Amino acid sequence: MRLTFHGGAREVGRSCIEVETSGHRLLLDCGLKITTEGTEYPIGFEDNKKAKDIDAVFISHAHLDHTGALPWLDHKGMDCQIYCTKGTKALTRILLEDAFKVGKISHQHLGYEQADIKKVLNCMKRAKVLESGTFNSEIKFEFFDAGHIPGSTTVMLESEGKRLLYTGDLKTKETLLHRAGYTDFPKIDILICESTYGDRDHPSREKTQERLIDAVHETLERGGVPIIPVFAVGRAQELIMLLAKRSFGVPIYLDGMGIKVTEAALANPDSLRDAKQLEKAFARVSKIGGYKDRAAALRKGGIFVTTSGMLTGGPVLNYLKVLNKDSKNAILLTGYQGEDTNGRMLLEKGEIYIDGLKTKVGCEVKQFDFSAHDGMADLKELVRKISPKKIIFVHGDEGAVQNMVEWAGAMGYEAYGPELGDIIEV
């Protein structure tokens, strides 16, 4: 078996690993990376023949850093089955269509057409969690719940007498939205492990939840408006579940793509810890349908849960345009803020761009770690439990990957942290 790292190697973004067996070329994920210069795709597909030669793709979950290059490879001639869960397909549809729309509006050269998205979705073949399947009678595969976002999975492949496990993005601790990711795997020869948080741990989820609830109460008590920016997938659902259980005496609004994603998650509830509770929370929040609803909600006041999570676009900017000066208001960030995003600039300099204008923000700003990834201690626990022969760390920045490679090496594992384009024979 031979592994080629087309992306996601010592970086977070464009996850794409090729698994070559004696008869097949398979891809584990096929994502894109968004940088300040634009969109970056996996490397090594300059020759379209490479895309045409792919026999099957296995998708761990719907995030664009794992799916965003599918239409691009389709445009280059890839024509094969794409295995994923039903939940992943539903969310991939939403995210690919949104990425295409945003790309067109911002005049980006995407390298594919809308028809490619349609074809990709048609090629998606449903894989059920905990049910093994075979591809061309030679490759055995099985998907397991990853606890990361709705529909997310880890993927196990078996070929040539070797068993390979790819974690995708993983959360092995329970959250309000998801059960803990599955960890009772059979004997694994090769583990390809994400390492987003390979050099740091998360605070306790319960404490983070309490801190956020306290911040919402404090803001309301001083007559301010809490604005809670969320990622549409996962975070929006978790936050409305957290808030809707409590009584704040004001409406809770949900605005942006999180609405569509919640509907898709409820239609594919297998990976949810408690679909009934999400359904109740979704029924309780007021959904903002457009400009008029937004204006009415702003007049009435309340708690605003809205995309985008890093303030890079979406309705959150409409709210901030009106609410950013008042020191009674609070922006309660619920996740990691990427480099060169509005959210990062807000944390570091107290400024954001709204409609292209740099704006000094007067509201209180707080950040909360609701990460959907395992922290360093969780990753180490997972590696020890699986105890594979070989372990390869991906999906992490330089420091995070290096830290995990050194730790695993010291523990006696054969550990790798491949660079972009590297090939490893396993």
Q: State which H helix or E strand residue 15 sits in.
A: none
87 vs 302 by CB, closer to Zn ion: 87
Number of H helices, E strands in the chain: 14, 24
65 vs 145 by CB, closer to Zn ion: 65
13 vs 226 by CB, closer to Zn ion: 13
Q: How far is the CB of 59 from Zn ion (least distance, A)?
A: 11
Q: How far is the CB of 136 from Zn ion (least distance, A)?
A: 28
Q: How far is the CB of 83 from Zn ion (least distance, A)?
A: 17
CA-CA distance, 12 to 397, in Å (whole number)? 6
CA-CA distance, 258 to 79, in Å (whole number)? 31
| H runs (alpha helix) in 124-257 | 205-221, 235-244
Q: How far is the CB of 313 from Zn ion (least distance, A)?
A: 19
- Tell me the number of residues near Zn ion by CB under 5 A: 3
The answer to whether 164 and 394 have CB atoms below 8 angstroms apart is: no
Extract the tokens encoding 152.
Answer: 């997310």
When binding is defined by CB under 5 A, the residue of 116, 169, 364, 378 that contacts Zn ion is 169
160 vs 174 by CB, closer to Zn ion: 174
Applying CB under 5 A, does 142 fall inside the site for Zn ion?
no
Extract the tokens encoding 240.
Answer: 């409305």
Beta-bridged to residue 227, according to DSSP, are: 304, 331
Q: Please report, as residue ranges, which positions from 82 to 121 form the binding site for Zn ion (by CB under 5 A).
A: none
Q: How far is the CB of 339 from Zn ion (least distance, A)?
A: 16
CA-CA distance, 418 to 5, in Å (whole number)? 7
User: In Å, what is the CA distance from 279 to each residue of 58, 240, 244?
Assistant: 30, 10, 11
Extract the tokens encoding 127.
Answer: 């894989």
Cβ partners under 8 Å of residue 244, min gap 6:
252, 280, 281, 284, 285
65 vs 142 by CB, closer to Zn ion: 65
Binding track over 197-226 against Zn ion, x by CB under 5 A: ------------------------------
294 vs 395 by CB, closer to Zn ion: 395
63 vs 235 by CB, closer to Zn ion: 63
Nearest one of 76, 77, 74, 67 to 28, comparing CA atoms? 67
Point out which span in 94-102, 124-132, 167-175, 252-260 binds Zn ion (CB under 5 A). Answer: 167-175
Point out which span in 122-130, 163-171, 221-229, 350-358 binds Zn ion (CB under 5 A). Answer: 163-171
65 vs 364 by CB, closer to Zn ion: 65
φ, ψ for residue 395 (rounded to 5)?
50, 55
Binding track over 380-399 against Zn ion, x by CB under 5 A: --------------------
CA-CA distance, 210 to 222, in Å (whole number)? 19
Q: How far is the CB of 242 from Zn ion (least distance, A)?
A: 20
| Alpha-carbon dihedral 415, 420, 421, 426, rounded to 10 degrees | 10
Cβ partners under 8 Å of residue 309, min gap 6:
229, 230, 231, 232, 235, 333, 334, 335, 343
Beta-bridged to residue 313, according to DSSP, are: none
CA-CA distance, 258 to 32, in Å (whole number)? 21
Q: How far is the CB of 351 from Zn ion (least distance, A)?
A: 28
Q: How far is the CB of 378 from Zn ion (least distance, A)?
A: 15
153 vs 209 by CB, closer to Zn ion: 153
Q: Please report, as residue ranges, which positions from 30 to 89 form the binding site for Zn ion (by CB under 5 A).
A: 63, 65
Q: How far is the CB of 222 from Zn ion (least distance, A)?
A: 36
Q: How far is the CB of 4 from Zn ion (least distance, A)?
A: 19
Point out which span in 16-24, 39-47, 161-169, 292-300 binds Zn ion (CB under 5 A). Answer: 161-169
The answer to whether 340 and 36 have CB atoms below 8 angstroms apart is: yes
27 vs 330 by CB, closer to Zn ion: 27
141 vs 197 by CB, closer to Zn ion: 197
Q: How far is the CB of 125 from Zn ion (least distance, A)?
A: 21
* 26-36 burial: b if 16+ Cβ within 10 Å, else e: bbbbbbbbbee
Please report, as ranges, the residues that interact with Zn ion according to CB under 5 A.
63, 65, 169
